[in-house]
Amino acid sequence: MRLTHQAHEAVAGVLGEGGLALDATAGNGHDTRFLAEQVGASGHVWALDVQPAAIETTRNRLVEAGLGERVTLLCESHAHIRDQVTPPGERKLDAVMFNLGYLPGSDRTRTTGAVTTIPALEQSMEMLTSGGCLSLMVYRGHDGGDAEWNAIREWLTGSGHEWRIPVDPSDHKGPVLVLLTR
């Protein structure tokens, strides 16, 4: 099973009608659309990306699917989640998804990095409800990808959160999926 399917399956297990979710790296909008479908008409999704092209592509994907009203799109770094994402009342997020690396089909020199990702992970876990799921897809095949992955591994080890890696990443340079629960 592809890692993206495993991530969607894990998130779908905790997210349903009325749920609250965050796509911390909107990219081309595939995960944002998935989350919007899962939360239904009474839920809400926030999607962040630093690149205006990613926000526009995501917006178009949502409009085509009739899901635009379920999502707040923010052209902002994932390092500022706490300042940008405001669940109503005392509610917390049920699910958070990250895809780290670069925006497919764009400038491969513009990538995520540990300096923004680690604070984003910390903020996301603080905002995640008990029993919630954080899906972290780490693409390592770009300059800085291994450094970001090593920083994430170090953070995971000291985080105190329950996490698992469904497929052993040591034998290849491909993406790594990490699933965290609170």
Handedness of CA 63, 82, 26, 37 (dihedral sign): negative
Tell me the two tokens of residue 143: 């300059």
Q: Report how far residue 178's alpha carbon sits from residue 106's, in angstroms, rounded to the nearest whole number.
A: 25
Q: Report how far residue 157's alpha carbon sits from residue 153's, in angstroms, rounded to the nearest whole number.
A: 6
Structural domain spans, the chain:
3-181
Model pTM above 0.75: yes
- Which alpha helices (DSSP H) does 40-144 contain, by range? 52-65, 81-84, 114-127
Q: What string of pLDDT tens digits covers the 182 residues of the chain?
A: 688 999 999 999 999 999 999 999 999 999 999 999 999 999 999 999 998 999 999 999 999 999 999 999 999 999 999 999 999 998 999 999 998 875 566 666 666 777 799 999 999 999 999 999 999 988 777 677 788 888 999 999 988 888 988 876 765 667 888 888 98
The CATH homologous superfamily for domain 3-181 is Vaccinia Virus protein VP39 (3.40.50.150)
